Amino acid sequence: MLRDHSQSGPTMIERAKMFRDRLSVAALVAMTTVMSGCDTPQRDMLDTVSESADKSAWFYYMLLSVCSVILFIVVAWFVYSVVVFRAKDGVEQEMPPQIHGHTQMEIMWTIIPTLIIIGITIPTIKAIFWLASPWEANSADADENNHVVIDVMGKQWWWEYDYISPEDPDRKEIMFSTANEMHVPVGTMVQLRVTSADVIHAFWVPRVSGKRDATPGRTYPLYFKVNEPGEYIGQCAELCGASHALMGIKLFAHSTDPDDPDNYDNWVAAQQKGAQPPTSTIAERGKELFISKGCTACHNIRGDAVTNAIHPRARTRKTGPDLTHVGSRTTIGALAMTNTRDNLKEWILRPQEIKQGSVMYVYGYKLLGIEVNEEEAEAMAAYLFRLK
Ligand code: CUA
């Protein structure tokens, strides 16, 4: 060893390596920061499409402006002091006058921040109350009966949506259930009743509204009214386990124009229908496998005599997403994959590889010893993909 024993610290080479490692970490952090800035525009919370998102964006800009002004004043003052009062060559420095216990200044730097905090707090509290009950603030939406109610339940790692019948005055009766992709009408107040089946999740569609925690044992409302038709991407915003990152949300805002074939009422009507029976041999086999493998223990398929008898309110039987119209969704696995027949097959075959800790694998395949081969997965995908 050519190491200098008089030195107890690292050698030059070791230090160079440490420096290199630190540099790579710093580069990685910088890269992540920069890249998170170029997220897809669909998730930009400042590109708002609803009044409640406007409120959040307003607070963002307001706080940014207030803080920028404060930062500017502090930095300008600091730079001025450094330049003007710097040590000059050849000049003997004297201790400047000390101002400890200067009553006027003490009062000033107590009052100014207090006023700033009060100025920020008042609109914040007003907005909190407005967001909690937008009807009272919006006389145009005073009719509480004219709104869409959806029960949202966060589960590891997907979202269940129970659409509540507008005919039920108690707002309890479920029309149908779907998963991950939420559809709402444009220009109509939507009330989500958000809860969780297991751990704390958070429902967040940045362009549409702020976050709402999904907490087990509690139900919190979230209100919004989307102004523009379109597709908006969201994400579970609370670290909730292995596949938290794969707990996506897609929100479709449909027009309410009766002449538009893609309007909200048509979507609801299609979802209310039962599942289409299989028409091909392979799909028929897929359906048989779906039943014989025990998939119906967790998944509902309405109207096809598969899990028809189960009451929709029986949540315990809805461990997995309702698959009545799974083929009509654009994604599977809470946005983990695009919904294609091949991807469905992959998902059925290897859920654990696509989504770490997937309940379907851990408490289904693994615990119950269910085995699915290529041919079986192919047949089940053929059956499910046709459930439009
Ligand atoms: Cu659910 Cu993160």
Average pLDDT, the chain: 86
Q: Are residues 224 and 300 in the same domain?
A: no
Consecutive H or E run containing 43: none
Q: In this structure, are 238 and 378 located in the same domain? A: no
- 283 C-alpha vs ligand 1 centroid, how far in Å? 33
Ligand 1 centroid to 362 CA: how many Å?
A: 18
Ligand 1 atom 1, closest CA: 201
Does the structure show a pLDDT above 70 at 13? no
Q: Is residue 220 part of a domain?
A: yes
Instruction: Pick the atom of ligand 1 nearest to 245's CA.
Output: 2
pLDDT of residue 364: 86
Residue 123 and residue 268 in one domain: yes
Query: Which tokens belong to 133?
Result: 């009950």
Give the end of a domain, one of 253, 272, 291. Answer: 272
Banded pLDDT at 288 (limits 50, 70, 90):
very high
pLDDT tens track for 174-229: 999 999 999 999 998 899 999 999 999 999 999 999 999 999 999 999 999 999 99
Domain annotation covers residue 57:
yes
What is the CA(384)–ligand 1 centre distance, in A?
26
SS3 279: coil
**Is the domain of 257 the same as that of 311?**
no
Q: Counting atoms of ligand 1 from 1, which one is nearest the CA of 157?
A: 1
Q: Which atom of ligand 1 sits closest to the CA of residue 235?
A: 2
pLDDT higher than 70, residue 3: no
Least confident of 57-66, 81-90, 139-148, 345-354: 139-148
- Residues 85, 54: Cα–Cα separation, whole Å: 46
**Final residue of a domain: which of 226, 251, 272?**
272
Q: Specify if 99 maps to a domain.
A: no
Q: Looking at residues 125-148, what average pLDDT do you find? A: 72
What DSSP string runs through 309-378? TS-TT-GGG-SS---TTGGG-SEETTTTEE--HHHHHHHHH-HHHHSTT-HIIIIIIIHHT----HHHHH
**Is residue 243, in this structure, part of any structural domain at all?**
yes
Q: What is the pLDDT of residue 7?
A: 46
Tell me the mean pLDDT in the region 157-162.
95
**Ligand 1 lining (C-beta closer than 6 Å):** 154, 157, 201, 236, 238-240, 244, 247
Query: Helix, strand, coil shares of the chain as percentages rounded to 5?
Result: 45, 15, 40
Is there a single domain that holds both residue 234 and residue 300? no
Asked if pLDDT for residue 380 goes beyond 60, the answer is yes
Q: Which atom of ligand 1 is nearest to the CA of 241?
A: 2
Q: Which amino acid is at 279?
A: T
What total number of domains does the chain contain?
2
How many whole angstroms from 120 Cα to the centroid of ligand 1?
31
- Distance (Å) from CA 350 to ligand 1 centroid: 21
Cα of 336 to ligand 1 centre, how many Å?
13
Q: Based on the domain organization, do 305 and 194 belong to the same domain?
A: no
- The Å distance, Cα 212 to ligand 1 centre, comes to 12
Q: How far apart are CA 280 and CA 383, in angstroms?
A: 9
45, 54 in Cβ contact below 8 A?
Answer: no
Structural domain harbouring 203: 42-66+105-272
Bridge partners, 275 (sequence order):
none
Q: Is the residue at 308 inside a domain? A: yes
Same domain for 251 and 159: yes
Q: How far is the CA of 159 from the centre of ligand 1 (A)?
A: 9
User: Which atom of ligand 1 approaches the CA of 154 most closely?
Assistant: 1
Do 264 and 309 lie in one domain? The reply is no
Distance, C-alpha 144 to centroid of its chain: 26
> Residues 30-37: what's their mean pLDDT?
56
Task: State the closest ligand 1 atom to the C-alpha of 236, by its place in the atom list counted from 1.
Answer: 2
How far is residue 143 from each of residues 148, 149, 220, 258, 329, measured CA to CA in Å?
A: 12, 14, 21, 21, 32
Give backbone dihedrals phi and psi of 152, rounded to 5 degrees, phi first: -110, 125
Give percent above pLDDT 70 in the chain.
83
Centre of ligand 1 to C-alpha 197, Å, is 12
Q: Is residue 30 part of a domain?
A: no
Residues 148, 53 within the same domain: yes
In the predicted model, what is the mean pLDDT of residues 3-21?
Answer: 58
Nearest to 344 by CA among 293, 375, 382, 314: 382
Domain C-terminal end among 238, 272, 306: 272
Q: What is the CATH number of the domain that holds 126?
A: 2.60.40.420
Inform me whether the pLDDT recorded for 66 exceeds 90. yes
Question: Which atom of ligand 1 is least distant from the CA of 240?
Answer: 2
**What spacing in Å lies between the alpha carbon of 180 and ligand 1's midpoint?**
12
List, in order, residues 6 or more apart from 120 with CB less than 8 Å away.
62, 63, 66
Yes or no: say if 159 and 153 are a contact pair by the CB < 8 Å rule: yes
Q: How far apart are CA 285 and CA 381, in angstroms?
A: 10
Nearest atom of ligand 1 to the alpha carbon of 238: 2
9 falls within a domain? no
Residues 310 and 378 placed together within one structural domain of the fold: yes
